[in-house]
Amino acid sequence: MHGNARARWFVSCPEPGGAGPKWRPSWHQVMTKPMLPYWTNGSEVDRDETRDEDWCDVQCVEGFVWGLAVVEAGVRPGECIVKCDGGTKQFRITAPHTYPIPEDIYTLIHFLPYESPHVCIIGRSLPERRFEKVSVVETFEKDLLDITERRQYILI
């Protein structure tokens, strides 16, 4: 499968995979759950067949996400608070789905930086450069790009 197609699976499912890898939906999820309508426009999830690993080279930031734990109909507003050189910055984020996102510190992968809204995949940074997907959020805050750093993650 091409890296752009893998990227679409990474970003289109609002929850972790239900069987096998968490970064992409299971077949059951694809057939029974609504997927988000994002196009990946050049973003890729690459595959190393010899190591049996999927990975991405991305811009990301660590932040405290809150306001998205309670599930309501429609787009849910929340915030992400990020520590940076000048103190802290607050960014408005939204969850355009009904998957609950508990308040916690997450890594936000700024996966579709040239789209509007900007799409971020949130999850946990794990040892050995691994990333565990939790969900997907959107933001219109362009300033988020100013404080991201480039990382390469192996997706689990």
Task: List Cβ neighbours of 74 (8 Å cut-off, separation of 6 or more).
Answer: none
- Domain of 128 in residue numbering reads as 3-155
State the amino acid at position 65 in one-letter form: V
Which of 119, 154, 85 shows the shortest CA–CA distance to 13? 119
* Average pLDDT of the residues in 102-124: 89
pLDDT per position as a tens digit, 21-56: 999 999 999 999 999 988 777 688 999 999 999 999
Higher-pLDDT residue of 39, 3: 3
pTM of the model: 0.91
Domain count of the fold of the chain: 1
- Of 30-39, 63-72, 107-116, the range with the highest mean pLDDT is 63-72
Question: At a CB cut-off of 8 Å and minimum separation 6, what does 133 contact?
Answer: 10, 16, 17, 22, 23, 121, 122, 123, 155
